[in-house]
Structure formats: C-alpha cells, structure tokens
Amino acid sequence: GGLFGPGGRFSGSVDPVMEKFNASISFDKRMWEEDINGSITYARALVQMGVVTKEESEELIKGLNLVKAEWGDGSFVLKDSDEDIHTANERRLTELIGPLGGKLHTGRSRNDQVATDTRLYVVKMERAIVGHLLDLLSAGCKLAGETKEILCPGYTHLQPAQPIRFGHWIMSHMSPIVRDIERLIELIPRANQCPLGCGALAGNAFSVDREFLASDLGFEGVLPNSLDAVCDRDFVVEFLFWHSLLLSHLSQFAEDVIIMNLKKEVIISDAYATGSSLMPQKKNPDALELLRGKAGMALGRAVGFTATLKGLPRAYNKDLQEDKKTLFESIDTTLDCVQIAAGVIGTMKVDSEKVGAGLCMEMLATDLADYLVRKGVPFRETHHISGAVVRLAEETGTNIGSLTLEQLQAVDGRFEEDVMKVWNYEQSVERKNSTGGTSLKSVEDQIVKVETFIEKI
Ligand code: ARG
C-alpha cells in the first residue's frame, strides 16, 4: 500500500492482485510534468491560503523541481508502493525535503489533481496534433499541385463515373482534414478549464484562489462546480469521438490508395510498405492497411469509454481512472496515423500513364447528354438518348467514342459533326469550372484556400 493505501484507517494488507488492479502508475506516469506543475502552482497558492510560509513554499517548489529534474533525466525510481503519479511524486518530494512535503496536499485531493493533470496533458497533445495535421495538409497540397494536370477516373459505387484531376481527388481528402482541425481547435477551450481547488468533491476548505490557480497553470478559466469538476470527463469523450472521426477519414484515404496501388496507378514508397516472408515478389501497402484498420478500434474506444461514464453517480468514482489508458492510446494512435499519412502522401509516386489508362469513353456519356442539352434538348431526354448510345456501343462491341456520326444520328437526328469534340477528357474536366469542381482553375483555388488556412493557424 502506498501513501493512500493502508494508512490510519486500514489494518489488513491489500491483496497483491488488488494492488496491481488499482494502480495506474504504469500509464499515468506520462503526466509527471503536468502533475508537478500543478503542485508548484498549488504550493504558491498555499502561501496565499496561510497554510505555509513564503519560505516553506519556496522549499516545496525547490523540492518539486528536484523531482521534476529526476523525471527529466530518467533517474526517478518508482517504488512498488507508488499507486499513481500523484502519490509517486508526493512520496519522492517528502523523501527529498522531509515532513514539509506533507503540507502540499492540504485542501487538495487526487480527484481535483488528476482532473487537472489530465486536462493539462490533453490540451498540450491536442495542440501538438494540430501541428502534425497541418504538416499532413501541406503534404497534400504539394502533391495536389504536382498532380493537378493528371487526369484520372472518378468513381461512384467503385464504378467508373467521370474523369477528374488527380489533384482534385487528393484535395477531396484534405477538405475533411481541414474540418477535423477546426473541430479539434474547438475542443481546446472546453478542455482548458481548471478543476484544481475543487478538493475531493465539495470545494477547498482553505479559501484557495481558483482564478489564480487557473491563470498560473495557463488555463482559460475555472470549472464552475466542484462536484462536476472532479468527475467531468466530457473533454476525454470529445477527444475520443474526434479522433475516431479523423481516423475514419484517414481510413477512407487509405482505402482509395490501396486500390490505386493495386492497379499500380500510384507507387507507395518502400518506407511505407513491407515484403512477404514467403513470397519474394510482394510489396504490401501495410501502412495503408494499418491506417484503415486503426479506425475500428478508435471508434471502439470512444463508444467504450462513453459506456463507462453513463451510469456513474456524482462525483468521483474509480471507474474514471479508465479514462487515461483509453485516452493515451487514442492520442498515440492519432499521432502515429497523422504522421504516417503525411509520409505516405509526401513520398508516393503517381504514374500518370497508368492513371490515364483507367479512363474510358463511357465516362463521357454525361458529356454526350450535356452536348444535346446545349442544343436545347431537355436533360431528361438527353440522359435517355445517351443511354441508348451506350447500349448501341455495347451491342456492337465497341466504346461510345468509336461510334460513327451515322451510328449516333441513327439514335438521335440532332447529333451533328461537332459531337466528335465531346470525346475529350480534358475538355470534360475543364467544363467543371465552378467552385469546387475539377477544372484546373478550381483545383488551384482549392489548394490556395487550404494553404491560406494553414498559414492563418
Ligand atoms: N489514479 C486515480 C485516477 O486516475 C487518481 C484519483 C484517485 N482518487 C481517488 N479518490 N481514489 O483516477
């Protein structure tokens, strides 16, 4: 048993399995810095509260900085009795500065302490993730710029649909990332609220100045209710659902690239592929399959932790300790996925010939219908006529672009000589020149918009 284990109230010893079951040190030790920073701020407040003298406060802070230095240089030695990062740090502080260390926790509880640490950590990591997402966007914009001239098939239902620009496809995967960044930034002010000074549940009995605690720690404000402050994990849930949506987006991107890679339209860098232990010819797009695969567990973590919360009575319950493993896994996975996706995008080669080979004249059937629309025929009619042309080509074992003018006119007399100009992928793409379309200008505009977004953040 550690600091808060068998103490005054306890006599029997704890089942060793219980000790392991109860401990969170193996995973919450990553919050060592946030924990010590929270304590340093609290030690400052203790003077204002009249609990310690100025000198004692300085002693406490000096000791806390020593503990921090040990974590920093890797010399901090954990003991079996260290239940979590809070007890470990306080134990070490007291070893270093003596009984004065026992004054630090006056009026504070691990309940407000852990909520404070976790919020500080989440905010730090959310900001770091934004940075990596911006790198991903930059890589996407660069590739889109390099490939904006390349025409490729666009699909619906995985069926060839209409020609598009390769850069347009890339930018289609950047738009959701822009929204994901906006969403992530919106989470930060809600997470960045201070629970410290709420005690175990009822508040602080020594009139702590919570506004001081908040500003000293860089929080944007204080949580207004002590019961809520110690048990609110909305900020964890928000991150979990946020990351599950981001990973779904990266998964969709990965699936597209897996298919293109299969057709050798894009070549994944060796840095993101692996070979087979048996088949020498293999180069598998593992990075992409993992990107696709991670999204499933991400959603599982979000749903799982929300289920953990749903029946909890006010206020702190040990169930809440389950937040951290889930959260840390989600943060780590997010950082990995974003960097891998950026790396894949930054290194993949596009084979314009192979990509172009995927185009087929049937993808211009809509353009054929539009040709007659421009001659005044209602679209519902032209859709039908173009469909009949597709059927004729199929029946005669050719493609619609190879039919003669006479064959076309046999379907509809309004086809004229200039219909042959329809069979041009470039022109088809260039006609899609309104905002968000796949014309060169429109794709360039999309890239500029995202680049401006990156600069403004
Ligand atoms: N390790 C605990 C957690 O992660 C810290 C809070 C413990 N509080 C308590 N009353 N047992 O939630």
Residue 4, pLDDT score:
57
Q: Are residues 325 and 196 in the same domain?
A: yes
User: What is the domain range of residue 83?
Assistant: 16-106
Crossing angle of the two packed helices 110-146 and 85-97, in degrees rounded to 10 = 120
Please check whether residue 3 lies inside any domain of the structure: no
Question: How many whole angstroms from 114 Cα to the centroid of ligand 1?
Answer: 7
At 2-56, the pLDDT tens digits run: 555 546 777 778 888 999 999 999 999 999 999 999 999 999 999 999 999 999 9
At 366-422, the pLDDT tens digits run: 999 999 999 999 999 999 999 999 999 999 999 999 999 999 999 999 999 999 999
Spatial CB neighbours of 215, under 8 Å, sequence gap ≥ 6: none
At 114-149, the pLDDT tens digits run: 999 999 999 999 999 999 999 999 999 999 999 999
In 18-104 the beta strands, taken as DSSP E runs, fall at: none
Q: What are the tokens at 309?
A: 């919360």
Domain boundary among 357, 377, 407: 357
Domain boundary among 339, 357, 375: 357
The ipTM value here is 0.96
Spatial CB neighbours of 431, under 8 Å, sequence gap ≥ 6: 367, 370, 439
Alpha carbon distance 80, 74 (integer Å): 17
Average pLDDT over residues 292-305: 98
The atom number, within ligand 1, closest to the CA of 24 reads 1
Please check whether residue 2 lies inside any domain of the structure: no
Residue 1 reports pLDDT greater than 70: no
Q: Are residues 214 and 269 in the same domain?
A: yes
DSSP codes of every residue in 207-274: ---HHHHHHHHT-SEE-S-HHHHHH--HHHHHHHHHHHHHHHHHHHHHHHHHHHHHTTSEE--GGG-B
Q: Are residues 71 and 205 in the same domain?
A: no
Q: Are residues 134 and 263 in the same domain?
A: yes
Mean pLDDT of the chain: 96
| CATH number, domain containing residue 58 | 1.10.275.10
| CATH number, domain containing residue 383 | 1.10.40.30
Residues with CB under 6 A from ligand 1: 24, 28, 84, 110-111, 114, 316, 318, 320-321, 324
Looking at the chain, the whole-number percentage of residues with pLDDT higher than 90 is 94
Residue 279, pLDDT score:
87
Domain boundary among 58, 75, 106: 106
Q: Are residues 234 and 346 in the same domain?
A: yes
Please check whether residue 30 lies inside any domain of the structure: yes
Whether 276 sits among the annotated catalytic residues: the reply is yes
Q: Are residues 258 and 352 in the same domain?
A: yes
Active site residue: 13, 26, 269, 276, which one? 276
Band (275; pLDDT cuts 50, 70, 90): confident
Least confident of 9-13, 220-224, 281-285, 288-292: 9-13
Alpha carbon distance 57, 40 (integer Å): 9
Q: Are residues 245 and 311 in the same domain?
A: yes
Band (112; pLDDT cuts 50, 70, 90): very high
Q: Are strands 221-222 and 193-194 parallel, antiparallel or unpaired?
A: parallel
Q: Are residues 213 and 250 in the same domain?
A: yes
Its pTM stands at 0.94
Q: Are residues 353 and 366 in the same domain?
A: no
How many domains are there within the chain?
3
Q: Are residues 45 and 177 in the same domain?
A: no
Question: How many whole angstroms from 412 Cα to the centroid of ligand 1?
Answer: 78
| CATH number, domain containing residue 170 | 1.20.200.10
